[in-house]
Structure 1
Amino acid sequence: MKTPSFLQAQFRSGTRATVTQPLRLMAMSVALSAALSAPLVMAQSDDYAEVNRLMRAGQFSEALTKADQHLANKPRDAQMRFLKGVIQTESGKPTDAIATFSKLTEDYPELPEPYNNLAVLYAGQSQFDKARAALEMAIRTNPSYATAHENLGDVYAKLASQAYSKALQLDSGNTGVAPKLSLIRNLFSADTKSARPATAAAVTSPVTPPSAASTKPAPAPAAAPVATSGEKNDVEAAVQAWAKAWSSKDMQSYLGAYAPSFTPPKGQSRSDWEADRKARIVPRTRIDVGISDLSVSVQGERATARFQQAYSSDNINVSGRKSLDMVKKGDRWLIVRESTGS
């Protein structure tokens, strides 16, 4: 279980006979979309810290009271409303949590995390079609949202398990169905026994099994170039410059931080993506993008920067994890891919 980045919610007894992989419920400490994230004003930050402290202590009633007190003065605070939904979930009030997250998706349809958490709650009630629809909305809102993609795979597996079970009931002589059902059961059983660590290594290429006839040992992989501290510093400087350009609404520098090979989300063309970013950034009265917990890995001409991003603009204050994949072009490090929620 990831803490505090994620809280995990499993299908409850009687609803996960074949699929044992849990859907993950994002915790508010890092939750709301990193595309919107930022530092909180001190008074608000104290409220969030206190609510999180009460939750960690298992004092859900007190945490909910504190959240409601905050929301009495700031009823549209998306971050505290999200946190309230998490409290309701953790304290065994799924109906209340569904109502909270549903209203949040209505008021802030651009945030993918409430959709994800709705899916977890629907799955807990065996409403897998609703869970699938919610996760598809999360992914439509943020195609780089890794958690929603994984959860959607879990939901599809559960739906497949139910369909295969029904097929066997209707035609027990169908020898093609049982192996498929067994494969799903074994897949998730094995995944549960060897639970994935909080931070998994990225797979950069498919693994091809050796031929059964081959007896030759696989060649040793070539050693990756060792990154120097100077290269890591250059990547860190590029990330900070990107955040600074975003904060100052310097669109030339901000858009210039992306490589020509950058692939925009949602299947947009580069020109449409740039126009969309300008429409979101330029009209804001203020923007403040903060970077913390920055970790950089460099291999040759490629690098990955992972960090906690905090974003604030006008009435929005949210934070989340973000990753930037970068390539070196000349003496500059440019972004080729960005993803959130991982």
Structure 2
Amino acid sequence: MPSAQPKGRESVHAVSVEGAPLTQQTCKARLAGQSHEFTLSAKTLSGRLVPITVFAPLESGRYPLAVFSHGAFAAPDRYRAMLAPIAAAGFIVVTPMHIDSEDFDDDIPPTQSDIWLTRNADMALALNPPSSITKRLSDCGLTIDQERTVAIGHSYGALVAQLTAGAKAIESADALTDRRNLGVSAVVGWSPPGPMPGVITKQGWSSLAVPALTITGTKDVFPGFVDDWRSHTTSYENGPSGLSSLWVGEGVDHYFGGMFGREKPADAVSQRMFEQALAKSLEFLEHGVNVANPCLLSDPIQGETRSEK
């Protein structure tokens, strides 16, 4: 199993939004602030060392916790375009690097069983940040409000995040395993997988216990693995009524044209759709942690669909 080597990187991000000036109460305006980033390592209960990247607001204060699980083979820093703005808007984002990340230079790849178990252990660690993280935050004048916690994930990581919110996977002898964390009050899944043999059935999402937002697009496919983008809406279609929301972008693929995960210059349409999806995510998360004055969401643009059930 890989050993973690922290990068020791620390940086500040300024996020800009194109277009006319926005009022302070819009979601996009809140996402356009600055955030602080640092990387260190923490140990799981088994003693495994996990690299963890933290994105946090620049202004001192007490902020809700957002834990994030990246997609297969990816790494936290490939989601900077998503996570740095969420931190700037008022969340402390804690994101572990899972053992399947390509950033680990290992001769022997981990087994699927090891990936599954350690990803869930990583999220448990992020949900209860150790003193190495809380002290580093304290040095910056920051405190985690763990009574206000949300989960976010992309692709395989979206499923891992949804498990913390009450979705149930098949882990042994067709038995459903409850990995819910009672502190999680909302979850956002960017392109969560559909049913996976031996992992989760469509009924697995019926036990989601908190508001859940699913984000996908009409080009969110992987031929031979996900042939129909609608598979990504399974968590919405089978989630409980009154708790399930869906965002769909026309022409949006698995990485929003390269905005995150598999980064590359994205075209203007992909960037615009990403801004809309991110604004919806922030509005959803703020309601999830009962922000006193949640941000205002702009009207949908052409090609954007928002649904609730």
Instruction: Give yes or no for TM over 0.5.
Output: no
For Structure 1 versus Structure 2, the TM-score category normalised by the shorter chain is under 0.3
Relative to its length, the structure with more strand (as a share) is: 2
Relative to its length, the structure with more helix (as a share) is: 1
Which TM-score applies when normalising by structure 1?
Answer: 0.26
Larger radius of gyration: 1
Which TM-score applies when normalising by structure 2?
Answer: 0.28
